[in-house]
Structures are given as structure tokens and as C-alpha cells.
Amino acid sequence: MWWSSGKDSAWALQALQVDSRWEVRGLIAVVNERNGRAAMHGVRCQLLERQAAAVGLPLRLVEIDWAAPASVHDMAVQRVLSETRNDGTEFIAFGDLSSTPRRERRSTLVEDCDLAPAFPLWGRDSRDHVDEMLEAGLSARVCSVDTGFVAADRAGRRYDESFLADLPGAVDPCGEDDEFHTFVEWAPGWSRRVPVEPTRAIKRYGFGFAELEPASTDSESTSSSAGSDPFEYFARLRRVRVHVDAHLDGELDRSVIAAVAAMTPTAFSHFFHEHVGMTFTAWVTRRRVERGARMMREHNSTVSQVAQATGFHSERSFRRAFHRQMGCSPSTYKRRL
């Protein structure tokens, strides 16, 4: 998987990992050899390594001197691609949705190394794609912006509906034309979060960057160490998880959940989103889908039975949520099993 640290790379990876036809062997990321920062995104390679650990895949870095000509860049990339080909890799996957020039360039680059390009997200509508990611609970920060399209002070903000609402009308909500880039803290399938916080703004060559650092650790404001499981670190979240898992097949009253956490409903909503990286509703939906997938793996339950046992109001709502999170329908998932 061609890894940029951003949302589309993360979502393309998720799409491949839930498809039994693919075996994802690792990540490849391009960084500046002078400062160890990811291309276009500007985040340090240490954060890329934390992401790779969260998805459980090895990371291979392509170090490039940005002052060198493009032909030198291509040679460095192709050298690493050739090494992966010798290791048995057949495809390099990219997270592009609609940029034809970029797709053509990427395809030429990998085909010259006797590899095949793959574009699992190609052709998706940007707005629908964004809705799917956010509804599934993807958590990300805007790490860089092209100031010709987006104001420099937008770098560092969370990638959410508030950020999207403030974008100029002509800017693609996915930043498909490189208007902005993101750093993902969590996406479906990750074993843990990689929380970051912006510490300062940097302006270079018409771009605005947010310096992202691992989230600080003071009292109960964050987890005990960057990337640790908040449900293990916070006692109140452990209680919530136990309660939710015991009542996942029924209605989950927000006031009852807040009482389990010993908080007011409003305070609990803010606390949960801050430390888990998604809304409580999105997390419960993810939890229900995970249980549904496990039921289909372990028992020969029908989709209707699974929907009822996991607390969905209808089979249709279960199918829709399952497809958003798993990248395929429950029926397709059962057939693959």
C-alpha cells in the first residue's frame, strides 16, 4: 500500500484488508531524506511508524532529496519498488479517487518495475466517500494545505464536518487535487489510536503545515502513552464498554450510559469523543458491526438474525452500516467465509 499518512490511504487499506482476494504485505512511504518528513503532508516519519504499528504492517521508507530533479526521485522510488517485487509483491495500491494525471503517472512508475497498480477507491464520489469515512468513525487532522485554495490557519484542524463546511465551494471535500492533506489517528481495522496535536504553524512555498506531535499525557486528559487503548486506561470507559457489550442487542439510553461513566450526558459526549476519537454513536455502531461479523464467522446465522442480535432497528440498517465499515455487504462477507 502506497502510504501517505492520510485518510484515503487508510481507507484504501481497509478496503483491501476486508477483501479476501488481497493480502496486504506492507506500506511504502516517500519521505524527504533531509528532514524525514512525508511528501506533501509534512509529518515526521516517526508518526508514520506509529501508524504502521497500529495497522500491524511493516513500513518501508523511500528517502528522496526534494532538491533533486524529478527523474532522480523516480529512480529512488523504482529502486524500492523493485526490491518489493523481488520479495514477491505483485501490486502497489493507491488511494486515489479521480485524479487521472496522477493515476497515469503512478501506473507508469510501478509498471516499469514489473508491478501492477491497484486503485481500490477509484471512481468514488468525493462527498459520498467522505460521509462513509466519517460515519465509520475515522479520525484525522488536517496536516497541510495549499494556501492558494485553503487558508493557512485551517492546517491543524480536525477533519470533520466543521472543517468541510468552511471549505471554499470549489475545493474538493477529499482534497483530491492536493488542496489539503490529512494525518489519520484511527480508522476501522486499526488496533489502537495514534493521537496527535498541532503545536505550531509553518508556512513554506505556498503551503501551510501544522507541526503534529504525539498527544501530551497529563492526568486524565489523554491516555497513558500515545497510541494506548483509552478503554484500558480510563476506568470510566472500561465500565462503559462492559455495559455496552452486555446490552448491545437492545436500546442504549445515553443518560444511562453517562451515569455508568459517572458524568452528565453532555460532559460524557465531549469526553468520549476527545479520548476515543469518534462519537459514542459511531463507536456503538462499529461495536455492533464487529459483533455481527464475529457471529457470521462463528455461527451459521442469517443476516436478519445477526441484525436483530446486534441491536439494529432493521436488517437494512445493519446491511448499510456493515458495508460502510467492512467494505462489502454481509451476504458477500458470508460467501467469502
- Across 23-51, average pLDDT: 92
* 329 shares its domain with 278: yes
Query: In the beta sheet, which residues pair with residue 212?
Result: 198
Tell me the CA distances in angstroms from 181 to 9, 137, 184, 189, 316, one per residue in order: 11, 18, 10, 21, 34
Same domain, 123 and 194: yes
Q: What is the mean pLDDT of residues 4-32?
A: 93
Give the pLDDT confidence score for residue 219 in this predicted structure. Answer: 35
- How many angstroms separate the CA atoms of 260 and 50, rounded? 32
Of the pLDDT bands very low, low, confident and very high (cuts 50, 70, 90), residue 242 is very high
Q: How far apart are CA 196 and CA 184, in angstroms?
A: 9
Distance from C-alpha of 124 to C-alpha of 12, rounded to nearest angstrom: 11
* Residue 277 counted as domain residue: yes
Least confident among 145-149, 193-197, 329-333: 329-333
Q: Based on the domain organization, do 199 and 85 belong to the same domain?
A: yes
Q: Are residues 210 and 315 in the same domain?
A: no
For residues 185 and 202, give the distance between their C-alpha atoms in angstroms, rounded to a whole number: 21
User: Do residues 275 and 127 share a domain?
Assistant: no
What is the total count of domains within the chain?
A: 2
What is the pLDDT at residue 112? 93
Q: What is the pLDDT of residues 161-219, one digit of tens each?
A: 999 999 999 999 999 999 999 999 999 888 889 999 999 999 988 999 999 999 854 33
Residues 279, 206, single domain; the answer is no
Q: What is the CATH number of the domain that holds 240?
A: 1.10.10.60
Q: How many Å apart are CA 290 and CA 308, to the nearest integer?
A: 14
Is residue 157, in this structure, part of any structural domain at all? yes
User: Could you say which of 214, 239, 256 is where a domain stops?
Assistant: 214
Query: What are the pLDDT digits (tens) for 55-73?
Result: 989 999 999 988 888 889 9
At residue 216, the pLDDT reads: 58
| Percent of the chain clearing pLDDT 90 (strictly above) | 62
- Average pLDDT of the residues in 1-24: 93
In a domain, 225, yes or no: no
CATH number of 198's domain:
3.40.50.620
Average pLDDT score over residue span 104-133:
94
What pLDDT, on the 0 to 100 scale, is given for residue 196? Answer: 93
Rounded Cα gap, residues 222 and 156, in angstroms: 18
C-alpha cell of residue 198: 498541532
Whether 84 maps to a domain, the answer reads yes
- Segment holding 182, helix H or strand E: strand 180-186
- Calculate mean pLDDT across residues 288-297: 90
Is 70 exceeded by the pLDDT of residue 101? Answer: yes
Last residue of a domain, one of 214, 239, 270: 214
Q: Check whether 225 has a pLDDT greater than 60.
A: no
Q: Of 167, 185, 214, at which residue does a domain stop?
A: 214
- Are residues 38 and 180 both part of a single domain? yes
Indicate whether 243 belongs to any domain: yes
The mean predicted confidence, pLDDT, of the chain is: 89
Pair 79, 32 in one domain: yes
Asked if pLDDT for residue 44 goes beyond 70, the answer is yes
Least confident span in 20-29, 80-89, 201-210, 223-232: 223-232
Same domain (yes/no): 203, 243: no
Range of the domain at 269: 230-336
